[in-house]
Structure 1
Amino acid sequence: MELRYVVPPESEGMRLGIFLRTCGVTAGLIKSVKHVGQGFFADGRSIHTDQIVHAGQWITFALPPEPATSVTPQPIPLSIVFEDEFAAVLNKPAGLAVHPTLNYPDHTLANGWIYYLKSQGKSGVFRPVNRIDKNTSGLVLCAQNAFAAPLLAGQVSKCYLAIVQGSLPLGPGRVEAPIGRRGDSIIGRCVTSDGKYSLTEYTVLAASSDYSLVACRPCTGRTHQIRVHMAYIGHPLAGDTLYGGTAQRIGRHALHCGVMHFVHPVTRETIRVSCPMPSDMEALAQAEHLLDGWSLEQF
């Protein structure tokens, strides 16, 4: 893939390396293009990173070949919500880990993505920009190459749908409480005075006497943040037995990443993608009459 940039008047006289950094090209990628790729060109002529660029010049370079991946390709069904040469958004089902770990060495979203690439005659690695728990469903943003990865990171906002236990008043709320490890647990987290700053903003969309449907926006990115914060205010997620919820009505914690906004690394356009609640959460919401009076389009 070739990237092209025209030098604007305000960049007249810059060294190429500095100009590329203003375009969002990382130092690591610049080094890789120099030493592994084909180098940089100004109006079709080779140019070094310490040379001067001039207004109106076209700076071009090809992305270096993708590195080899150790992830085994496996034919796992994928739901692709958005895809172009730079970014992809996948709708992950509950029960599927995002990437291989000690406990889940294969049959993950990563294995399915590598299989998908190879089936199209492409090479690549799996670069998730955001990760969600194995039993959380919904949107996962992936960078398609080394250029896009750092530009997508930090440019993503997410809205989760959560079904929590108990009746909450309709309307907005927020939980601002530090989160840290729970005792010696590797997995568990809790609100603790020596934890890291954490903020969750939420809107209660509907409520019955036993459950509430909540749209949550994690303003920080702590492990299990929404689950911990909802439990902290006395409303653990349905099915979340780790944080005080009951599995009587749903077999996993009722959390779904339903809406995502991200800034495209090339066009700089803000892109919105969404996916509806999966069937297990929808069934509980339907039974508790939590589906009326709101829409994903409002987020």
Structure 2
Amino acid sequence: MEYTWTNSEIKQTVKKLLLANGLSQRLLNQIRRGGGEVIVGTKPCKLTTMVACNQAVTLKLPNENNDDIVAAQGKLTILYEDKNWLIVDKIAGMTTVPGPSNRETTLVNYVKGYLVESGSDDLVPHIITRLDRFTSGIVLIAKNKVAQGMIDKIDRKDFEKYYLAIVEGNLLSGHAIINKPIGRKDSNIRREVMSGGKKAITEYWVKNRIGDNSLVMVKLHTGRTHQIRVHFDSIGHPLLGDKLYAGNLDRMTRQALHAFKLKFLDPFTQKYIEVECDLPEDMLQVLKK
């Protein structure tokens, strides 16, 4: 992969220029160890080389691949794609990343298969917004390590994730913020609200009331594991179908949670990218009844 930046400031080092443009210190360390090349003008240079105003700096990195990740063939619903980003609509039931129980049919495997078919030079999908297996909706993927490092450095206010969830009962307030720390006991997969947990903030708006249930739009202000599921369970309104958090299983066989909107500032263009995706059929059927 290859990227070029032009120094618009006074004379400065290559390192300062790259850091100012969002590259991670981890990537710079990789370059310093020989895992990449920096060109100023027409000559390879070091990170300590001084760059004059209006002078271009080109970063060249080796193509990415990981032979441990199997490329799988499968249909992907692509919502957005450019040189650096791939945004897809993940179906409920699909695991996001390979693990001990599944190394061949996860979202990462299908994305790698797609990248191979597309003739991409970089074949390692970097998952930015990971979803639980039974949560459906938008997943953002960086197509290379440069994009991954840059998106990690943008301000949280420039990265917004919204979900739609169907919860049990009728929420009294049409809009509220749940601010409760979340942690877990020992190695239990189940998370809980606890005094010693990590800060967790969830904002929600009631969009519709369907019998004894409510459709809510949710915005995450933090990113804790199971955050939405834990927070709604903590206020007595677990998600339908959420077996782990005592949700009603009569009308849904998985947690009724869908990542439907993503908006973020693209660090390469300094413009916002915004995508939405429709509710899946199983959640629509609940809303129709």
1:72 is paired with a residue whose SS is coil
Measure, in 2, the Cα distance between the counterparts of 1:184 and 1:41.
50
Measure, in 1, the Cα distance between the counterparts of 2:67 and 2:286.
40
Partner AA of 1:200 in structure 2? T
- What is the CA-CA distance between 1:120 and the residue it aligns to? 2.0
The residue aligned with 1:76 is: 74
The residue aligned with 1:105 is: 103
The residue aligned with 1:2 is: 2
The residue aligned with 1:134 is: 133
The residue aligned with 2:162 is: 159
- What is the CA-CA distance between 1:171 and the residue it aligns to? 2.5
- What is the CA-CA distance between 1:26 and the residue it aligns to? 2.2
Partner AA of 2:147 in structure 1? A
Measure, in 2, the Cα distance between the counterparts of 1:59 and 1:44.
9
2:145 is paired with a residue whose SS is coil
In structure 2, relative to structure 1, the CA distance for the partners of 1:59 and 1:143 (3 Å cut) is same
- What is the CA-CA distance between 1:47 and the residue it aligns to? 3.0
Partner AA of 2:93 in structure 1? G
Question: For 1:219-234, what aligned pairs fall within 5 Å after superposition?
Answer: 219-234=221-236
Maintained 8 Å contact 1:86/1:265: no
Does 2:49 correspond to 1:51? yes
Measure, in 2, the Cα distance between the counterparts of 1:82 and 1:241.
32
Maintained 8 Å contact 1:170/1:207: no
Maintained 8 Å contact 1:239/1:245: yes
- What is the CA-CA distance between 1:267 and the residue it aligns to? 0.2
Maintained 8 Å contact 1:32/1:64: no
In structure 2, relative to structure 1, the CA distance for the partners of 1:104 and 1:153 (3 Å cut) is same
Measure, in 2, the Cα distance between the counterparts of 1:153 and 1:4.
20
Matched residues, number? 283
Structure 1 vs Structure 2 CA RMSD: 1.7
Match of 2:278 among 276, 279, 299: 276
1:55-87 per-position Cα deviation (integer Å, ceiling 9, x unaligned): 111112223221434111111211111111111
Does 2:252 correspond to 1:254? no
Bigger mean CA deviation after superposition, 88-97 or 117-126: 117-126
- What is the CA-CA distance between 1:154 and the residue it aligns to? 5.7
- What is the CA-CA distance between 1:99 and the residue it aligns to? 0.6
1:147 is paired with a residue whose SS is helix
Question: For 1:1-299, what aligned pairs fall within 5 Å after superposition?
Answer: 1-8=1-8, 11-33=9-31, 35-37=34-36, 39-122=37-120, 123-153=122-152, 155=154, 156-169=159-172, 171-181=174-184, 183-184=185-186, 186-287=188-289
In structure 2, relative to structure 1, the CA distance for the partners of 1:94 and 1:179 (3 Å cut) is same
Measure, in 1, the Cα distance between the counterparts of 2:98 and 2:48.
41
Sequence identity percentage: 35
1:132-170 per-position Cα deviation (integer Å, ceiling 9, x unaligned): 100000011111111100211264320000000111246
Maintained 8 Å contact 1:205/1:215: yes
- What is the CA-CA distance between 1:45 and the residue it aligns to? 3.4
State the TM-score, normalizing by the size of structure 2.
0.92
Measure, in 2, the Cα distance between the counterparts of 1:47 and 1:192.
52
Measure, in 2, the Cα distance between the counterparts of 1:214 and 1:101.
32
Displaced runs of 4+ in structure 1, greater than 4 A?
none
Maintained 8 Å contact 1:179/1:191: yes
The unaligned stretches of length 5 or more in structure 2 are none
In structure 2, relative to structure 1, the CA distance for the partners of 1:140 and 1:277 (3 Å cut) is same
1:204-260 per-position Cα deviation (integer Å, ceiling 9, x unaligned): 111133110000111111111100100111110011121121110111110000000
1:1-60 per-position Cα deviation (integer Å, ceiling 9, x unaligned): 32111111xx322111122111112233234445133x2222333332212111111112
Maintained 8 Å contact 2:71/2:104: no
The unaligned stretches of length 5 or more in structure 1 are 288-299
